[in-house]
Amino acid sequence: MEFPKFLLILILLPFYQVLSLNEYETFHPYQTSYTLDPQAMIIQACNNIQNQALCLSHIQSNLDNHGHVRDPHSVLRAAIRNSLNQAKLAIQSITKFSTLSASSRDQMAIEDCQELLDFSVTELAWSLGEMRKIRTGLKNFHYEGNLKAWLSAALSNQDTCLEGFEGTDRHLENFIKGSLAQVTQLISNVLTLYVQLHSLPFKSPRNETIRYENPKYPEWMTNGDKEMLTSSPSKMHVDAVVALDGSGHYRSIAQAIYEAPSYSSRRYVIYVKRGIYHENVDMKKKKTNIMLVGDGIGATVITGNRNFMQGWTTFRTATVAVSGKGFIARDITFRNTAGPKNFQGVALRVDSDQSAFFRCSMEGYQDTLYAHSLRQFYRECNIYGTIDFIFGNGAAVLQNCKIYTREPLPLQKVTITAQGRKSPDQSTGFSIQDSYVYATRPTYLGRPWKMYSRTVYMNTYMSGMVQPRGWLEWYGNFALNSLWYGEYRNYGPGSSLSGRVKWPGYHIIKDPSTASFFTVQHFIDGMSWLPATGVQFTAGLTN
């Protein structure tokens, strides 16, 4: 995977002033910085595009139409704008295929593609807006973290679209794959350019153990947000109440979400009273800053049984799906009862950037928690499952969580994570910190779903049923050189490192600065958004 990039650098060497090599994938997690010639950037933005002349023309036209000086940032903006325009065209192209769908599964996969490409359009538009802020010269690394998170998400949506055609005759998939190829490559090129152009010089704070677990709140946290952390639902301000017995505003969570304001800039709180709610809830991206508050794990339960064997795509099996930015859930159980025999059955799917889950339970079997994209935080949550039951390509930190295994089908191997990072430039991965793996049957910590899969366990208890080798192959030698798996100061009978895999991509982390990269503060830029959620968190390492 690295060889074509090496060739590209050789081809464009007259345009590059390479200051240092990007080594963080193997040994060090921090990015390094490049200086690029604008003309070389324009060429690289169209790298591997089928009609390269047209691509170059579009970017040149974008630069001319917006009156930009030929500097690296203006070229990057033009490349993002070109990717955005091509993503919009791809949506139009895919819409035409809906009339050709031969089955309900085909039709559902096309609908998935439309929504996922719409995610990409939104994320590219956010990125353009962030570039305008960076253009002003404001050196705020939160802006840079945002941009990389959004470009990383935009790159993966097209893969999820194509995965939806599993179980079909693949006829339509082949057509749609052609429509998506250029968009995917353009976004990949933009992300690579951005990583080369920008560095994120995170520095470990003097005191890594920064906590917001007591009444010392940041100045910018509103009184309402403080109240959310400290109050019981009966004492806090809520905007809507859901109750099965009719004592609230709604009997259905989905109806409460439907009538919640769209694109809300303030927190909209929905209190869901105790009860078992048999419904599937899909919070679209326009439903921003929604907070669901229940009466506790096992008391407020949202349950469904959608699964792959019923004809649903994995993306659509979710009992609850959240896409609007800034979602928060507290004291709720998300459940999928499909069982192991029905294969994929998601309890919770998350595409909400800067989302947080506090004292929640995700209960399923295969593919329980779909951390699909963007930045996510889980605190004091329980996750149950059998196969790949924490999966996706979000940037997620799980802190003080409990992970429980369940009985799989015969011959299946229990595997906790299947992280789906497809590019070394993506800022995605799973960090499981200060948590507990309660394995009751032979269990593996993870396997590489995609080429650059990234998962770490830090300061986490592991029961004796975690297998000595720790990790499992996906198939053959796939991704064993390019993945990034790590363990840092774990404990318990299953934490011994002596029998662990010897893959090139597996790391026994000894340096605290490397481990620190995977903390809330650094990995998901948590200090810029988590304090305002009112959810407890530890910013750095606990030891």
Place of tokens 């947000």: 225
Per-residue pLDDT reduced to its tens digit, 194-205: 988 875 333 333
pTM of the full predicted structure?
Answer: 0.89
Q: Can you tell me the distance from the alpha carbon of 328 to that of 401, in angstroms, rounded to the nearest whole number?
A: 16
pLDDT number for residue 24: 36
pLDDT number for residue 133: 77
User: Given pLDDT bands bounded at 50, 70 and 90, which one contains residue 23?
Assistant: very low
Whether residue 455 is contained in a domain is answered as yes
- In this structure, the answer to whether residues 466 and 528 fall within a common structural domain is yes
* Residue 321 and residue 352 in contact, taking contact as beta carbons nearer than 8 Å: no
Per-residue pLDDT reduced to its tens digit, 246-265: 999 999 999 999 999 999 99
Whether residue 1 is contained in a domain is answered as no
Whether residue 205 is contained in a domain is answered as no
pLDDT number for residue 221: 39
Q: Where are the beta strands (DSSP E) in 465-509?
A: 484-488, 506-508
Whether residue 377 is contained in a domain is answered as no
Number of domains in the chain: 3
Whether pLDDT at 134 is above 50: yes
* Residue 186 and residue 49 in contact, taking contact as beta carbons nearer than 8 Å: yes
Q: Can you tell me the distance from the alpha carbon of 455 to that of 446, in angstroms, rounded to the nearest whole number?
A: 8
- In this structure, the answer to whether residues 232 and 332 fall within a common structural domain is yes
Per-residue pLDDT reduced to its tens digit, 316-362: 999 999 999 999 999 999 999 999 999 999 999 999 999 999 999 99
Encoding tokens for residue 35? 């200086």
Q: Which of 82-96, 210-224, 370-384 has the lowest mean pLDDT?
A: 210-224
- In this structure, the answer to whether residues 263 and 338 fall within a common structural domain is yes
Per-residue pLDDT reduced to its tens digit, 139-187: 666 777 899 999 999 999 999 999 999 988 888 888 899 889 999 999 9
Following CA atoms 50, 56, 62, 63 in sequence, which dihedral angle do they give, to the nearest 10 degrees? 150
pLDDT number for residue 168: 87
Give the CATH number for residue 339: 2.160.20.10
Whether residue 350 is contained in a domain is answered as yes
Whether residue 501 is contained in a domain is answered as yes
The answer to whether 106 is a known catalytic residue is: no
Mean pLDDT of 447-469: 98
Whether pLDDT at 220 is above 50: no
Bridging pattern class, strands 35-36 and 16-17: antiparallel
* Residue 447 and residue 474 in contact, taking contact as beta carbons nearer than 8 Å: yes
Owning domain of residue 235: 223-361
- In this structure, the answer to whether residues 438 and 529 fall within a common structural domain is yes
* Active-site entry in 225, 351, 353, 388: 388
Q: Can you tell me the distance from the alpha carbon of 258 to that of 213, in angstroms, rounded to the nearest whole number?
A: 33
Percent above pLDDT 90 for the chain: 71
- In this structure, the answer to whether residues 307 and 447 fall within a common structural domain is no
Cα 250–chain centre separation: 31
Encoding tokens for residue 241? 């109440």
> For residue 114, what is the enclosing H or E element?
helix 104-135
Place of tokens 């089908």: 409
User: Given pLDDT bands bounded at 50, 70 and 90, which one contains residue 226?
Assistant: low
Whether pLDDT at 428 is above 70: yes
Whether residue 138 is contained in a domain is answered as yes
Give the CATH number for residue 63: 1.20.140.40
